Amino acid sequence: MSPSTITAHRTIAGATIGFELPAAVLHEIEPAFARLMDDDERSVAPLVWYRQEPVGSRRARIERHDPLRTPPVEAIGTTAQDLIDDLHLTIALHSREHVFVHAGVVTWNGTAILIPGRSHSGKSTLVEELVRRGAGYCSDEYARVGEDGSITPYARAIQLRVPGGSRRSLDASDIGTVDTGERLAPALVVFTWFVEGADFRPRQVSPAAAALELFDNTVIAETEPDRATRVVAQIARRARAVKSPRPDAATAAADILALADRLEVAS
């Protein structure tokens, strides 16, 4: 470890993570997680560590040391942005306070709408359109779920894919409202995917079927299946779940919010 390297740990969204990095790198990543970082110092020993290792005369690489991953030691890049990108999944895997489900999340009528799906499924584009139409932004990647099924926002910049495979970051506050509240009730789960020319015609999904699909999108499904099962069952009990292909994001966003309004009136 070089003299410029510091050892520290941070608790972010319930995940305690260790760092052996230059102070400048650590200070560069902290603003990205400012809304998620706990103020108090935890006595919990980190299970996962990020360390910077020199590689010959090349730029020093950052390695993740995590016994829950295969391989347990892996180079994740050389820049602070590489570290930020990798940290999101690490937080989701190691949080002791919440179970993370791959899903876009917005608020509407004071409750949460979840749109489950893995990366490249179009969640971020759909979330962007929902926020532009007045929904509150919670996350474009993770539903952060408590043991009772309640949803806590996981604020990060919306990551939009552009032609060529690259990404651009969009601050949700530039297009609408960012919800930083706590413990939102899940009201609607929408399983949807883009199909050219499709109409959004949602059919109701049973709680059992919804729980299975949610489980498939849970980060800890393999490492802690019992815990994941308990939490997604809570969501399935509390929320109405529907499933349908969708047209373009702008049209689908309007249809989803209209559906949420109808469900609220019906209840």
pLDDT reported for residue 40: 57
Regarding whether 75 and 154 lie in a shared domain, the answer is no
Regarding whether 158 and 122 lie in a shared domain, the answer is yes
Regarding whether 77 and 171 lie in a shared domain, the answer is no
The average confidence (pLDDT) of the chain is 92
Regarding whether 198 and 213 lie in a shared domain, the answer is yes
Regarding whether 75 and 133 lie in a shared domain, the answer is no
pLDDT reported for residue 191: 98
d(CA 35, CA 125) in angstroms, rounded, equals: 23
Regarding whether 125 and 43 lie in a shared domain, the answer is no
pLDDT band at 44 (very low <50, low <70, confident <90, very high): confident
The number of domains in the chain is 2
Regarding whether 123 and 55 lie in a shared domain, the answer is no
pTM: 0.92
Regarding whether 51 and 118 lie in a shared domain, the answer is no
Domain boundary among 39, 73, 94: 94
Regarding whether 129 and 90 lie in a shared domain, the answer is no
The mean per-residue pLDDT over the stretch 94-108 comes to 96
pLDDT reported for residue 56: 58
Give Dmax (Cα) for the chain.
66
Regarding whether 114 and 81 lie in a shared domain, the answer is no
Domain boundary among 57, 79, 94: 94
Domain boundary among 94, 109, 131: 94
pLDDT at 13 over 70: yes
Closest CA to 158 of 197, 193, 106, 194: 106
Range of the domain at 27: 5-94
Regarding whether 19 and 115 lie in a shared domain, the answer is no
Regarding whether 40 and 17 lie in a shared domain, the answer is yes
